[in-house]
Every structure is written in C-alpha cells, then in structure tokens.
C-alpha cells in the first residue's frame, strides 16, 4: 500500500497531521545565535547578560539583556554599540557597520558604516531601523533591514556597553570579551 492510500485509510485527522508536519519542515528559518555573558561589569547596572541575534530574510534582529536597565541615570550616561561584521572571509579587520544608542529614556540611535575598529565613517545611514528599550524586562531590541547592511549572505555580531558613571574610569563590558563575536550566521 503506498503512503497516500495509508494516510487516507487512517482517516482525515492522520492525513492532516502528516500534511501539517511536512508544512513546518519546508521553509528555512532565520539562522540565530544565543550568547550568554557572565557578570563581569558589576560596577554597572547595564552589565550585558545575554545577546540573541537572528539573521532573517528581511531583517537582522538583535536582543541584548542587561542586569538592570534603568530609564534614568543618577550618574553619567551609558551607551551601547552593536557591531556587524559582514565580510565572511575577512578576518581581523573589524566591523563594517555599527548601531549606536544611549541606554536611558529619550536617547537617540544611529546606524553607520565603519572602517573596521577605527570608528564610524560619514553620516548615519538613512534606514528604517527599529530600536526599543524595554525597561521592565531589562532588554534592548533592534531590527535592522538587511538591505541597510548591503544584504550579506553571512554576518556576525559583537556588542559593547560603556557606562560613564565615573568619567575618569568608565565601565566597559564586551559580550564574551573585547572584540569578540557571535558565530557566523547565514541569512534565511
């Protein structure tokens, strides 16, 4: 008995379940990564605790979880930089893009091209980047259209927080350590 006849003989519910199972397996989803970061910037409430990245067909999504993200700072400001390395075969030269933001309520953010680790080049890019600071859940969520990053086939992400509580001794926290990255993520 072939598969089609067996499913029909088992009844409509079995056929629907089998068809549904096949439907879920067909399209490829965005490749994603989850990185946990130890408590290593305890002098700051903005210590990075985890980073999630998803390289989807239309958008790259990044979520950064903090120890205790606050709407207002009683001391100096804190900011975050999300770095994007989009040259898969290019190792060691640094990021091609950076999304920079403050971490307090009312701060602005901008996506810019970078010349590796030397810093941003030119004006911010005109892209429909979405960024939300969620103080109740201690996290930042960003969605960047892939076209703004020149539609890379692969990318990896690095994250750096700088807290200026004491301007003479800023607290700096890198995800996994200075200039470290997620693994390479293929686009959906």
Instruction: Judge whether 150 and 111 are in contact, CB under 8 Å.
Output: no
Classify each residue of 151-169 as buried b or exposed e, where b means 16 or more C-beta atoms within 10 Å of its C-beta: ebebbbbbbbbbbbbeeee
pTM assigned to the model: 0.82
Would you tell me the crossing angle of helices 12-25 and 3-10 to the nearest 10 degrees? 130
pLDDT in tens, 27-51: 357 899 999 999 998 889 999 999 9
pLDDT range class, residue 166, cuts 50, 70, 90 = confident
Q: What is the mean pLDDT of the chain?
A: 84
52 vs 13, which has greater pLDDT? 52
Lowest mean pLDDT among 83-92, 117-126, 130-139, 171-180: 83-92
Q: How far apart are CA 131 and CA 108, in angstroms?
A: 9
**β-sheet bridge partners, residue 176:** none
């Amino acid at each position: 008995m072939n598969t089609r006849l067996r499913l029909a003989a088992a009844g409509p519910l079995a056929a629907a379940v089998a068809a549904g199972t096949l439907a879920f397996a067909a399209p490829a989803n965005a490749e994603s990564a989850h990185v946990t970061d130890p408590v290593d910037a305890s002098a700051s409430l903005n210590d990075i605790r985890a980073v999630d990245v998803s390289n989807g067909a239309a958008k790259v999504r990044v979520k950064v979880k903090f120890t205790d993200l606050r709407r207002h700072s009683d001391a100096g400001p804190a900011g975050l930089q999300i770095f994007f390395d989009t040259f898969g075969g290019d190792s060691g030269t640094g990021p091609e893009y950076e999304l920079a933001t403050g971490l307090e309520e009312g701060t602005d953010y901008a996506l810019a091209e970078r010349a590796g680790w030397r810093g941003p080049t030119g004006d911010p890019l005109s892209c429909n980047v979405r960024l939300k600071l969620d103080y109740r859940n201690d996290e930042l969520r960003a969605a960047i259209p892939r076209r703004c990053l020149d539609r890379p086939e692969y990318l990896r992400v690095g994250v750096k927080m700088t807290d200026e509580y004491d301007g003479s001794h800023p607290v700096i926290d890198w995800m996994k350590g200075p200039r470290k990255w997620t693994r390479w993520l293929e686009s959906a």
